[in-house]
Amino acid sequence: DTEVTQTPKHLVMGMTNKKSLKCEQHMGHRAMYWYKQKAKKPPELMFVYSYEKLSINESVPSRFSPECPNSSLLNLHLHALQPEDSALYLCASSPLRGGVFGANVLTFGAGSRLTVL
Amino acid sequence: GQNIDQPTEMTATEGAIVQINCTYQTSGFNGLFWYQQHAGEAPTFLSYNVLDGLEEKGRFSSFLSRSKGYSYLLLKELQMKDSASYLCAVLLLNNNAGNMLTFGGGTRLMVKP
């Protein structure tokens, strides 16, 4: 299995809703990532988990709450979002064997397209 | 801050060769990636350079000059399916805390018949 699977593919939510995005990989990767991508813009890093622990938070507002229940799963809990949070949310994973060529390639999921009304 | 620049758009003809340039000024460097992204789809890995020189992989080649902070992606024998965005990304951090990848703005390539 060489894929990163994200659900749902599309999500529409109101500003008072609570929802979650899910990500799953079975490649044995010990690093998992959340990126946010606005239309015609590059992906922007939000969070990095390594060995199931949050290692990097790029000053993301607290209305986004990540969770890594185990080495294969990554969630992004959403609460009280704003319309400007509408974007494509990409999950990615990678090995953590630093310094070895090919070990650092991030594999991306197809994304969850979020619309906040 | 991090600065990764690439042209916004390029147009080329089917069967031709196109070169997409990327320049970077970053605090830290552990390698440079090129990703391809079709509209509405996931970015897919194309190439990785950490040493100076040319890496060739089929119709795609990528070049890196660390001293100049410069890379290019070369696409040969262009096909219509190569119409996509091409993302240059610098690997800033590469340790047990994870891999911090920062992307340039992307180059939208349109291949015409």
Helix (H/G/I), strand (E/B), else coil: A24: strand
CB B87 within 8 A of CB B34: yes
Per-residue model confidence (pLDDT) at position A101: 55
B1 touches chain A (CB under 8 A): no
Whether residue A42 and residue B98 make contact (CB cut-off 8 A), yes or no, is no
Sorted by sequence, the CB contacts under 8 Å of residue B81 that are 6+ apart come out as: none
pLDDT, tens digit, 9 for 90 and up, residues A25-43:
999 999 999 999 998 889 9
**CB-CB neighbours of B13 under 10 Å:** 11
pLDDT, tens digit, 9 for 90 and up, residues B6-44:
999 999 999 999 999 999 998 888 899 999 999 888 899
Whether residue A56 and residue B95 make contact (CB cut-off 8 A), yes or no, is no
Checking if the pLDDT of A103 tops 70, the result is: no
Whether residue B43 and residue A108 make contact (CB cut-off 8 A), yes or no, is yes
Per-residue exposure over A58-96, b if at least 16 CB sit within 10 Å of its own CB, e if not: eebeeebebebeebbebbbebeebeeebbbbbbbbbbbb
Nearest CA in chain A to B108: A40
Residue with tokens 């659900």: A7
Per-residue model confidence (pLDDT) at position B98: 74
End-to-end CA distance of chain A: 36
Out of B45, B50, B105, name the one closest to residue A42 (CB).
B105
Per-residue model confidence (pLDDT) at position A44: 93
Dist. CA B6–CA B8, nearest whole Å: 6
| Burial class of residue B2 (count of CB atoms within 10 Å of its CB; 0-12, 13-18, 19+) | middle
A112-116 and A10-13 beta bridge pairing: parallel
